[in-house]
Amino acid sequence: MTDIDPDASDAVVGRVLGTADATPLQFWTAVTPGSYLQLDDVVVTRRELPDREPVTIAGVVTQVRARHEGAQFDSDVFAIADGTLPALVQEAAEITTTRVDPELYVPPSPGAPVYRAEGDVRSAALHFDRMERRVPMGIGRDGVPVYLNADFLDGTRGAHVSISGISGVATKTSFATFLLYSVFRSGVLGGDTVNAKALIFNVKGEDLLFLDHPNSRLDATTVETYAKLGLTAGAFPDVRVYAPPRAGDSSGTPDVSSRLAGVDSFYWTLTEFCADRLLPYVFADADDERQQYTMVVHSVTAHLARYAQPADGGVSIDGTRIHSYPELVDFVVERLTDEETRSDWAGSAVNTGTVNAFARRLIGSKKDLARLIRGDLATRRPHRVNTAESAQVTVVDLHNLPDRAQRFVVGVTLRSEFERKEKAGTAKPLLFVVLDELNKYAPREGSSPIKEVLLDIAERGRSLGVILIGAQQTASEVERRIVTNSAIRVVGRLDPAEASRPEYGFLPAAQRQRALLARPGTMFVNQPDIPVPLCLDFPFPAWATRVSEAGAAPSGTLRSITQAADPFAVVGSRSGSLSDDDIPF
């Protein structure tokens, strides 16, 4: 670690406290009168040893307290304030050790000077000097950049990101997109940046449909913040947007209201639905494992794959032409309820109650999936999401779809992308998958086809170059194996009940309390390199997060845009950052 100057008295902010136990991993320091320490400050001290080189101990402030020394009773505070009782105000800070160099774990000496870590000393204290590839994440409480070790993001030594926080306040999606922007624009991927891809599922409004438009509300301070992080403030340069076709529209027009151009519709043909065995994803909600109708699902899926033949845009089964998903559902239900054909479709061991349970759920899917599984649209043009043939960032819009349809799209798309990476057999190019509401797709209880795909990504995705960036309101409701396989854990504003759950045990007590008060744009990031989560503010998005921010858009791209705001106007309560009244997601 870079050495500290014991004669730099102006940098001394305190001395190691002698009235509290000092350990190699945690100690208290009395704050020098006229100085201060706040939570998240980085400090360093040195322990002199006989016949050994000095040991440098660095740490982060995890608690601060102030008290009157000389007071005995609570009421003494009034006499002290009046000047009739002498007392001394003393502040002290709890320091949690982040680095010991050399690694000789001895406690600091009481009375030893404690310095505020700056420059190279700060970088060493937070292990930034050991990061060969650093991803800018935001600005720390001391106004200096904070970094993420790319080795724990791209699969080199770890992978996957878990982001938790209250919906609409924790700005989870904003941080996920900023992290992607930082990865793609900071150069940490080197030559692999050109081929790296991102797949983003948009589930809330049309907020993510304008990532390729610069944000008209950027101010000069935010531009400077990006520059401080080594980034250029701007939009994502290469974005492709997919949306489902409008319900009842035989032309396949994408169902979006604000963006006119640059949007492709996605759907699956009846032939693909049968041949690719997609029926299980119609039943993608997590079910009780005791349910027996899943046997019927797999039996019918196999039957469709074996006997369905392409015919005039639809399929032909047993000589019957089928041109739409509702027709396919009715055909399957008819075969299942017919005593003569039931055993061929569902198996001889399945009883009537089980068949009826399957039929009820299948019939209920007709309205939700009719516009996604088609027999009346062109099959020659691309109509399925394929990141290998798409832009660097692919946005799949789901916000106009009902819950069952959203599950179907997410499950089928993730399966096809994961299978494509498996066939390629190499980790590069990387594929980053951003999925919000992870607790809906991979809940802690039950099983489903989507959950199995997500577990595959969490456990094997690192070796195949598939990186999951999952966001959820409650990490306690997400499958444990997915959370534990996430090398990077990020927390924004938390609900008090959720903050007490063991899934947030990596947060010190003070940070758990602070997470209840965190403002939009403030995140606590835990990574394997650093034993203490780092608090940071990430900058306001440089890309449009809603149609009203999409300034300087390409001609004809937007259906309607409100008048652009002053590009150098102050956004929110802190310049260029997110406030409670100005939350993009």
531-581: pLDDT as tens digits: 999 999 999 999 998 888 886 544 444 443 333 333 323 333 333 434 333
Three-state SS string over 449-490 comes to HHHHHHHHHHHHHHHHCEEEEEEECCHHHECHHHHHCCCEEE
Please calculate the CA angle 179-184-189 and round it to the nearest 5 degrees: 110
- Domain end (from 101, 130, 159): 130
Task: Give first-to-last CA distance, the chain, whole Å.
Answer: 41
Domain-located, residue 231: yes
Q: Taking the C-alpha atoms of 487, 490, 491 and 497 in order, what is their torsion angle to the nearest 10 degrees?
A: -20
* pLDDT 10s digits, 464-514: 999 999 999 999 999 999 999 999 999 999 999 999 999 999 999 989 999
Three-state SS string over 506-563 comes to CCCHHHHHHHCCCCCCEEEEECCCCCCCEEEECCCCCECCCHHHECCCCCCCECCCCC
Residues 276 and 216 in one domain: no
Supply the pLDDT for residue 567.
31
Residues 393 and 510 in one domain: yes
Query: Before 136, cis peptide (omega within 30)?
Result: no
Domain-located, residue 2: no
Question: Which tokens belong to 310?
Answer: 């392409």
Supply the pLDDT for residue 291.
64
Phi and psi torsions of 12, nearest 5°:
-70, 125
Supply the pLDDT for residue 119.
92
Residues 259 and 392 in one domain: yes
Residues 168 and 108 in one domain: no
Please state, in angstroms and rounded to a whole number, the distance separating the CA atoms of residues 316 and 271: 9
Domain-located, residue 53: yes
Three-state SS string over 206-229 comes to CHHHHCCCEECCCCHHHHHHHHHC
Query: What's the total number of domains in the chain?
Result: 3
Count other Cβ atoms within 10 Å, centred on residue 481.
13
Range of the domain at 410: 134-265+384-549
Residues 159 and 180 in one domain: yes
In terms of Cβ atoms closer than 10 Å to its own Cβ (0-12, 13-18, 19+), residue 425 is exposed
* pLDDT 10s digits, 75-95: 999 999 998 999 899 999 999
Residues 276 and 370 in one domain: yes
Residues 409 and 536 in one domain: yes
Q: Which of 559, 560, 561, 557 is nearest to 261 (CA)?
A: 557
Contact 42, 122 (CB under 8 A): yes
Contact 542, 181 (CB under 8 A): yes
Domain-located, residue 15: yes
Residues 200 and 288 in one domain: no
Please state, in angstroms and rounded to a whole number, the distance separating the CA atoms of residues 162 and 472: 8
Please state, in angstroms and rounded to a whole number, the distance separating the CA atoms of residues 213 and 235: 5
- Sheet of 314-317: strands edge to edge? 309-311, 314-317, 320-322
Residues 391 and 528 in one domain: yes
Please state, in angstroms and rounded to a whole number, the distance separating the CA atoms of residues 330 and 464: 40
- Domain end (from 349, 374, 399): 374
Q: Whose structure tokens read 């409004």?
A: 205
Please calculate the CA angle 531-532-537 and round it to the nearest 5 degrees: 135
Domain-located, residue 558: no
Q: Is 18 helix (H, G, I), strand (E, B) or coil?
A: coil
Count other Cβ atoms within 10 Å, centred on residue 82.
8
State which H helix or E strand residue 372 sits in. Answer: none
DSSP assignment of 315-364, as one string?
Answer: EEETTEEE-BHHHHHHHHHHHHHSHHHHHHHH-TT--HHHHHHHHHHHHH
Query: Which residues of the chain are under the pLDDT cut of 50?
Result: 6-7, 9, 288-290, 553-585
Please state, in angstroms and rounded to a whole number, the distance separating the CA atoms of residues 142 and 525: 16
Q: Is the dihedral of CA 537, 538, 539, 541 positive or negative?
A: negative
Residues 397 and 249 in one domain: yes
Residues 260 and 314 in one domain: no
Domain-located, residue 196: yes
Residues 290 and 235 in one domain: no
Contact 121, 44 (CB under 8 A): yes
In terms of Cβ atoms closer than 10 Å to its own Cβ (0-12, 13-18, 19+), residue 500 is exposed
- Domain end (from 374, 405, 436): 374
Domain-located, residue 367: yes
Domain-located, residue 573: no
State how far the alpha carbon of 3 is from the alpha carbons of 167, 315, 469, in Å: 44, 74, 38
